[in-house]
Amino acid sequence: MSNPTLLDLPLELFHGIFEHLDTETIAISVRCVCKKLFNIANNYDKFKLSLARIYGSDLVSISRIVEPVNFVSLAIYVYSDYHQYGKINLFLSLFKLNSFTQLRSLYFYSTSGDTVELFLQQVPLGNLGLLSIINTRDGILGRAIKQTLQSVVQFNIPKLQIYEPKCLERINWPAQCPLEYLMLADCSFSQYRSVLSELSNLRMLIVDNIKMTDKDLKTQEEFSISQNAAKTQDCQHLTSLSIVKFDGTMEDIELILSLTPSLTRLRLISCRKKFDSTFDGSTWERTIGSKLPLLKNFELFLSHEFWRDVKFPLLCEIIAPFQSTFWLNQKHCNFSADYDLWNPIIRLYTTPICATNDQHYYSSGYFKCVLSSKESRYSITQNQGCSVHFSDYSKTALVQTITTLSIKEIKVGSNEMKHLYSALEKNTTIEDLALRDIKLDNNGLKSLAHALSVNKTIIKLNISSNRFGDDGMKHLAEALHNNTTMTMLNISYNNVGDDGARDLANALYNNKTLTNLNLSGNDITNIGVEHLFVALQDNSTLKVLELGSCKTGHKGAMHLACLLRTNQ
C-alpha cells in the first residue's frame, strides 16, 4: 500500500481512538464523515455519555442513533445552571433506564438524592464496576444512602466514590460488603478506623483528609498503648492509601499508618501551613521503616508558602536526608525540592509528581530552582518546559531557550547563587536578569560582578532592594569598567552613599553602553551627585538617570540642571 490513509487503520485502532472521544463526537460528527466510519460507529458498543455540557438537541439525536445497551458509562451531572435539571428530565423521556444493561460505571455529580435513588432502582447494575456519587444537592440523605449501600452489596460493586461532607456519620456499612476501592471526603481518625475494620475486602482507600478530632486526641494515648492489639487481620488487607489534602502533623501520620502495616503504596499531598517535620527525610525514613515494611511505592508532595521576612531553608538541607541508602537503594525514591524564583513557595515531592496544578505546584510563566536527590546539581526550570542546569564551575551552562531570569524577594542560599554566577559567565542567551530583594551580600555581589565582566549577552540588570551599600557598589563598578553590553541598570534602594557614587562615576568615565541608570532610594547626597556630574560631562551614551528619594539638596539639583543644559 503506497499511500495509506486514516481509513486503512485496523478496526481495533479506531476503537482505541473512540475510547477517548465523547458520544456526541462519535455519533454526530465522526459517524457522518464517510461510509466506513458510519459503519464503525454504528457497531461500536462502548459509548460513554455525560450530561455535563451536552446540548439537548444532541441528546435527542443520540437517542435515535445509539441503543442504551451500547453505553458502558453514564455520568449524570448538574451544575449551577437551572436548565441542567431539565436535561435530566429530557434524558429520562428519551431513554428507558432499564435498557442500560451493560453499564460499567455510573457517575452522579451535584444531583439530588431522589435522582440517585431513581437511577439505582431502575438501572441494571449487574455489570457495574464503579459507582460514583459526588456533592449531591441534599447530601444523599435518607433512603438514597441506603439504596446506594444496598446496590453495592446486591450487585457486588467493587468500587465506590462517595464524596459527600459528613457522609460517614450516616453510613452503617453492611456485613460482607464487597468494596475493594473507596474514595471519601474528609473523615475523622475514628471513622478511618471503622472503615478499615468493617470493610474487610478493601484494598485501596482515597480520602481528602483524616482529621484528629478532640475525641481522637483524648483517646490517642489509650490507642497507642493498644496498637499491637489493633494490628489484627482486619487491618492487614489495605494495600493502597492516598490522602490528598492532609493538614495534620507528622505524629498524626504515624498514628494513621500504624493501622496499615500491609500498605504497598502510599500517596500523601499536603499544602502545609508550617515548615515542619513533614519535610524531614529522616523522620519519614523512621516512620516508613517501622510502620510500613512492605511499602514499594511512596508518593509525596508538600508545599509551604513563607512570609517574605522569614529565612528561606536551603534546598540542599531539605534534600540531604532523602539521599540516604534507605531512599535511594531500598525504596528507589527520587525526591526533588524547589522554590519559585518569584513567589516564596517551597515544595518537596517525589518524581514523577503526584500533585495537580491546583495544589501549589505551578505558577505559570515563572521559573523555579530545583534540586534532586539523585543528582548533585541544581537546575532552574521554567514551568512550561525549558530548564537550566548548574553544578560545579566546569560544567555550568544555561540552555539556549531562556532569555529572561527573575528572582525576587527570596533568601537564596549562597551555594545556589554561586553556581548561578558561574553559569552566567558562560551563558550566551540571558538578556534580562533581575535579582531583586534576595539579600545579596558583598561576597555574592563580588561573584556577580566577575560574571558581568565577562558575560557578553546581559543588557538589562535589576539588583534593586538588596541593601549592599558602598562596599558592594565598589565590586559592581569594577564590572562596569569592562562590560560592553549592558544598557539598563537598576541599583535603587541599596544603601549606596557618596563613596559608592564616586566608584560608579569612575566606571561611567569608561563605560560606553549604559543608557538607563536608576539610583533612586539610595543615600546619595550633594557630594555624590557632584561625582556623577563630573563623570557624565564626558559620557555621551547615558540617556536616563533616576535619583528619586535620594538625599540630594539644592546644590545637587543645580548640578543636575547644569548637566541637562549641556546634555546632547
Q: Are residues 51 and 121 part of one domain?
A: no
Q: Which of 308, 333, 358 is the last residue of a domain?
A: 333
Determine how many CB atoms are found less than 10 A away from the CB of residue 447. Answer: 20
Q: Is residue 340 part of a domain?
A: no
Give residue 561's pLDDT.
63
What does the pLDDT average to over 320-330?
A: 95
Asked whether residue 532 carries a pLDDT value surpassing 70, the answer given is yes
Q: Are residues 53 and 29 part of one domain?
A: yes
Q: Are residues 77 and 59 part of one domain?
A: no
Q: What are phi and psi of 522, to 5 degrees?
A: -100, 180
Q: Are residues 208 and 149 part of one domain?
A: no
Q: Are residues 371 and 514 part of one domain?
A: yes
Q: Are residues 162 and 114 part of one domain?
A: yes
User: Residue 393: which pLDDT band, with cuts at 50, 70 and 90?
Assistant: very low
Task: End-to-end CA distance of the chain: give it in Å, rounded.
Answer: 74
Q: Which of 167, 192, 208 is the last residue of a domain?
A: 167
Q: Is residue 274 part of a domain?
A: yes
Q: Is residue 342 part of a domain?
A: no
Q: Is residue 383 part of a domain?
A: yes
β-partners of residue 211 are 188
Which pTM does this prediction carry? 0.71
Determine how many CB atoms are found less than 10 A away from the CB of residue 75. Answer: 15
Q: How far apart are CA 184 and CA 169, in angstroms?
A: 12
The domain total for the chain is 4
Residues spanned by the domain of 76 = 72-82+103-167
Q: What are phi and psi of 567, to 5 degrees?
A: -70, 130
DSSP reduced 3-state for 498: helix
DSSP string covering 194-213, please? HHHHH-TT--EEEES-EE--
Mean pLDDT of the chain: 83
Q: Are residues 130 and 273 part of one domain?
A: no
Asked whether residue 565 carries a pLDDT value surpassing 90, the answer given is no
Q: Are residues 272 and 408 part of one domain?
A: no
Q: Is residue 505 part of a domain?
A: yes
Q: Are residues 426 and 384 part of one domain?
A: yes
Q: For the domain that residue 542 is a member of, what is the CATH number? A: 3.80.10.10
Q: What angle do CA 473, 370, 346 make, to 5 degrees?
A: 85
Q: Tens digits of per-residue pLDDT, 329-350?
A: 999 999 999 887 667 788 999 9
395-400 long-range contacts (CB < 8 A, ≥24 apart) are 396/422, 396/423, 396/425, 396/426, 397/423, 397/426, 397/427, 398/423, 398/424, 398/426, 398/427, 398/428, 398/429, 398/430, 399/429, 400/428, 400/429
Q: Is the peptide bond before 352 cis (omega within 30 degrees of 0)?
A: yes
Q: Is residue 346 part of a domain?
A: no
User: Residue 111: which pLDDT band, with cuts at 50, 70 and 90?
Assistant: confident
Closest CA to 459 of 425, 484, 485, 424: 485
